[in-house]
Structure 1
Amino acid sequence: MAKPHADHIPTLINVAHDEWSSSYRSHDEADHYPIARQAIIGLSVLGSIPAEELERLDALAIGTTDPGLRYAIFELLVKRGGPPLQERLLDRACSPSRAAVRRAAAHAILNRSEDLDTAIVGKIDSELLATRIPGVASRLMLTVGLRATDEDIVSISRLLAARPKRRVLLLVAIWITRETRPELSKSLEPLMPLHHPAIAWLRSGPSTEGDDSLVSDLGDAAVCSEVLSWLNPAQAKV
C-alpha cells in the first residue's frame, strides 16, 4: 500500500468496508477481511481523521463479522478519537452487549493506554472493576496500573481488597507496577491476605505456572482464571 495521505481518507474508509476474503470460513470460524484490515492500517498512520469518518468506522466495527477488523478499528478510535470516542469505548466495554465486543473495547483501551486522556483513566474506578465481566475487569485493572496516579491505584486497590470476589485483581496491580513503580507495587502487597502464597509466586517472576488453587480464595473462579491468564509466564494475551 502506498503511503497514505489525508486526501485518501474517504477511499480508505470505503475500502475498510470491503468484505473480500481469500478463503471460505467454516461454520465455527470468524470472518477475515484482509483488504479491510489493510485500510485500517493505512488510516492509523494519518495524523487526524474527521469526526464523521470516525463515526462511520465505529458503526462498521459494531456490525462487522471480522473480530480482527473490529479490534483494529477500536484501537484506531482510541488513538485518533480523543476523549469523546475513548469514553464511548469505555462505556461499551462496561455496558451489556456481546462479550466479544466488550473485551475488544477493553483490550483496545489497554493497548492504546498511552493515548488515553487522563479524565478517561479517572473514570475507571473500583466499582467498574468489581462488577464487570472478568475479561473487561482484568484489562481495565491493567490500564489503571499503567496510567493512573499512585494515589488512585492505592485507593482502588484498597477498595478491591474489601471485595472478596475480586481481591485477585490486586495481583494484577502488583504485577503491572513492579518494574515501573516498584515502591508502589511493594506497598500494595500488605493489602493481600497475610503470607498469601501468590505474593511469593509473583516475586519469583512468576517463573512457574500458577494454578487455580493458588488464587482460589481471592475471588470467583472466572476472575481468578482470567488473572492467571495474564500473570502466568509465556501465555499469549488476546
Structure 2
Amino acid sequence: MLTAERRQFILDLLGRDKKVLSSELSAVLKVSEDTIRRDLRELAEAGLLQRVHGGALLTSPATASYADRQKQAPKEKEAIAQAAAKLVCSGQVVILDGGTTTLAVARHLPLDLSATVVTNSPPIAIALADHPHVEVIMLGGRLYKKALVNVGAATIEALRMIRADLCMLGVCSLHPEMGISVTNLDEAYVKRTMISRAAEVVGLATAAKLDTAAPYVVESIHALSYLVTAPMVSDEMLVSYQALGLTVVRG
C-alpha cells in the first residue's frame, strides 16, 4: 500500500470510528508503529487529525477563522442558541464566552429578560447593545483576532471579581475522556477561569465538535453542568456524555 493510500485509510477509519489507535493501525496495515506515528504526525501537521497518547482523534472545525465559522452549521447553531437561551433566568449574572454559537445565544435572549451579561466578545457586546434590560460588562484584554475575543491577564483578573450564576461556554472540542480543549493557550486560561467563576456551566457544541480534541486542555468534562447540542446528534453519540452525569439538551 502506498503512503498516500495508507494515510487515506487512516482518515477514513478515523471518520468512521472517531478515534484510531497506533497499535491497531500497525497490525491492520502491516507496518511498524514508527511508520504509523510518522503518518499521524504528518496528518496532524496538515490539520487533519489531533494526535493523542496512543493514537489520534478528530479535529474540531473551530480551527477556522471567525468569519469562516459563521458560515458553518448555521441551522445547528440557531437550534442550540434557542435551547440555550431558555436556560437564562431574569436576575442572573451570566458569562457569555466568545464564539459564533454564543453570539447566536445573545441574539435569542428575550427582550423582557432582565440580566447582566459578562463577556470577552466584542461581537456579543455589540449584539446586546440595544437590548432594553440586559446590562453588558465588557471584559478587557488583548484581542485574539482569529476568534474575536479578549484574552490575557487583564481578562482573567476581571473575571476573578465576578460570581456568575451561569456560564455559556463556546466549545471548540469536546471528548468524554479528553474533556474540553481549544486551539489557543490564552483562550484555555480564560475559559478555565470562566468555568471557575460560575455556579453552573453550559457547554454549547455542534455535532462536528463532539468527540474531537485540540492541543490545549481547558477542563475535564465534569466541569460542565449541561451540554446543549444539535437536534440531529444521535442518542448513541450522547450516551458517553450522559453516563458522566451531564444533562444533555438537544435544540
For normalisation by structure 1, the TM-score amounts to 0.36
Q: Which has the higher helix share?
A: 1
Q: Which has the higher strand share?
A: 2
